């Protein structure tokens, strides 16, 4: 199992990048129809390889192009409809998911309470654990699963946990509410208030030593 360390990019920088490169959302029916096939390698791992290679954020189109460079030897195994469907999945499923992982990690870093983050692309593909963080006060690692509050996302999470192996015990679910506007960048964003379950878990680990310094805002 290979772990990939995330680059830290500030939450403001991530939002500003997407504001200047708004996300596109292909039809869900295309992504979940012909695109509902196994990718040659984990698509989230491809995203983070490109991030490591470039050292900066990139567009959905750049991600798509890089993925097919990585998967060049497997391309012949797919029909054109499947290729188009996989492209739709990269755009509307994997890219936003990876951006969310980066953004939530940035929000956590910016609290000053965490000093290490790992994304395990195997755990993401199998058990729906998106990121793991280590508190600066030497607490136990906290495993975090991100998902949007809609029936499709909940069903996908339940499917992964039931049929691909359960998420590790104690995994903390952090939910992106669907009632907020898609901005900036034609996208809904997690905010500090959404991270309350993580801080509640940290309080449980460290008890009264956390004190009032763990108050978080609702940006």
Instruction: Indicate left, alpha or beta for 135 from its phi (over 0: left) and psi (-120 to 50: alpha).
Output: beta
Task: Tell me how many helices (H) and strands (E) the chain has.
Answer: 9, 5
pLDDT at 10: 95
Are the CB atoms for 44 and 97 separated by under 8 Å?
yes
Name the phi and psi angles at 173, rounded to 5. Answer: -85, 130
pLDDT digits (tens, 9 = 90+) for 144-193: 989 888 766 666 666 555 554 545 567 899 999 999 999 999 999 999 99
What tokens does 212 get? 């009032």
Find the mean pLDDT for residues 128-136: 84
Both tokens assigned to 115: 């000093």
Tell me: pLDDT of 211 over 70: no
The strand pair at 114-119 and 4-5 is best described as: antiparallel
Residue of higher predicted confidence among 14 and 117: 14
pLDDT for 139 beyond 90: no
Long-range residue pairs from 50-56, CB within 8 A, at least 24 positions apart, any chain: 51/6, 51/7, 51/98, 51/102, 52/4, 52/7, 55/7, 56/9
The residue ranking higher by pLDDT, 1 or 19, is 19
């Amino acid at each position: 199992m290979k772990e990939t360390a995330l680059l830290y990019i500030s939450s403001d920088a991530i939002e500003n990048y997407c504001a200047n490169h708004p996300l596109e959302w292909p039809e869900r029916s295309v992504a979940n129809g012909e695109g509902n096939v196994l990718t040659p390698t984990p698509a989230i791992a491809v995203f983070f390889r490109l991030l490591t290679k470039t050292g900066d954020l990139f567009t959905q189109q750049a991600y798509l192009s890089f993925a097919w460079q990585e998967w060049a030897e497997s391309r012949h195994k797919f029909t054109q409809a499947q290729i188009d469907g996989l492209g739709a999945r990269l755009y509307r499923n994997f890219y936003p998911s990876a951006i969310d992982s980066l953004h939530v990690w940035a929000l956590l870093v910016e609290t000053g309470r965490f000093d290490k983050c790992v994304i395990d692309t195997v755990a993401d593909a199998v058990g729906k654990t998106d990121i793991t963080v280590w508190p600066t006060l030497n607490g136990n690692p906290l495993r975090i699963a991100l998902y949007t509050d809609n029936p499709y996302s909940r069903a996908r999470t339940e499917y992964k946990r039931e049929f691909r192996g359960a998420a590790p015990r104690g995994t903390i679910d952090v939910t992106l509410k669907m009632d907020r506007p898609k901005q900036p960048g034609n996208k809904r964003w997690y905010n500090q208030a959404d991270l309350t379950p993580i801080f509640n878990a940290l309080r449980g680990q460290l008890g009264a030593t956390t004190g009032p310094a763990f108050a978080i805002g609702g940006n």
